[in-house]
């Protein structure tokens, strides 16, 4: 009896198909780019004030920040990152995109790891202005360089060992330390003989 043929199921290709920009063709990208280059923000009026303040704060810190908030839902959530990357090619700096289905980032100022750390720490249910602030503050927050910390600790241990060794020899030389025996081992001068 021969075994039945094995059948593998492969994920179907993206049903949207075409160029990535086709996924967000409903967005008026030229108008969004115009708003972003003018003010740094393309968002509903009730969120623009807080976001504009954040953009100005980032500018004062030496970072170009651009924030898009859209009410359009895109799937998969990675489309928001694709939109951010598309916008960032025109605006430069750092682009944050927020929508009902997720958020996306792209930057020449911050690494992908720094941005992902920021997005992973956004509080659940945060508004777009709050989320943008959390991402930005995490990205500019100084990170601990563990390589330098490790090197510094090794140097401290080595210096401590050298100092202990030098002090041990100095105490032997000035007569306050244990005197070496004839065979080269240390002898405890304060030891009382066994009776």
Q: Which of 104, 100, 90, 92 is nearest to 132 (CA)?
A: 104
pLDDT attached to residue 69 = 96
Count of C-beta atoms within a 10 Å radius of residue 71: 9
Contact 168, 177 (CB under 8 A): yes
Contacts of 81 (CB under 8 A, 6+ apart): 97, 104, 105, 106
pLDDT attached to residue 11 = 43
- Model-level pTM? 0.63
The ranges assigned to domains in the chain are 20-140, 146-187
Buried b (16+ CB within 10 A) or exposed e, 83-102: bbbbbbeebebbbbbbbeeb
pLDDT attached to residue 31 = 93
Here the tokens at position 154 are 């090794």
pLDDT tens digit at each of 195 positions of the chain? 556 655 444 444 444 444 555 677 788 999 999 999 999 999 999 999 999 999 999 999 999 999 999 998 888 888 999 999 999 999 999 999 999 988 999 999 888 888 888 888 888 888 999 999 999 998 887 665 667 778 888 988 889 888 888 887 766 666 665 555 556 555 555 555 555
């Amino acid at each position: 009896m021969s075994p039945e043929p094995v059948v593998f199921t492969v994920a179907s290709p993206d049903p949207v198909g075409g160029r990535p920009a086709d996924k967000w063709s409903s967005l008026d990208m030229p108008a969004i780019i115009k708003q972003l280059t003018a003010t740094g923000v393309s968002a509903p009026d009730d969120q623009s004030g807080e976001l504009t303040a954040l953009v100005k704060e980032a500018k004062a810190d030496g970072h170009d920040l651009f924030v898009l908030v859209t009410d359009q839902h895109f799937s998969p959530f990675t489309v928001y990152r694709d939109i951010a990357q598309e916008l960032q090619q025109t605006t430069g700096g750092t682009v944050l995109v927020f929508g009902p289905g997720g958020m996306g980032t792209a930057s020449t100022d911050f690494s992908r790891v720094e941005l992902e750390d920021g997005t992973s720490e956004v509080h659940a249910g945060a508004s777009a202005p709050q989320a943008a602030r959390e991402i930005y503050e995490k990205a500019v927050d100084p990170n601990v360089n563990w390589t330098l910390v490790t090197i510094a600790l090794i140097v401290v241990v080595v210096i401590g060992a050298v100092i202990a060794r030098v002090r041990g020899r100095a105490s032997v030389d000035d007569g306050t330390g244990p005197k070496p025996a004839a065979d080269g081992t240390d002898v405890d001068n304060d030891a009382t003989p066994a009776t």
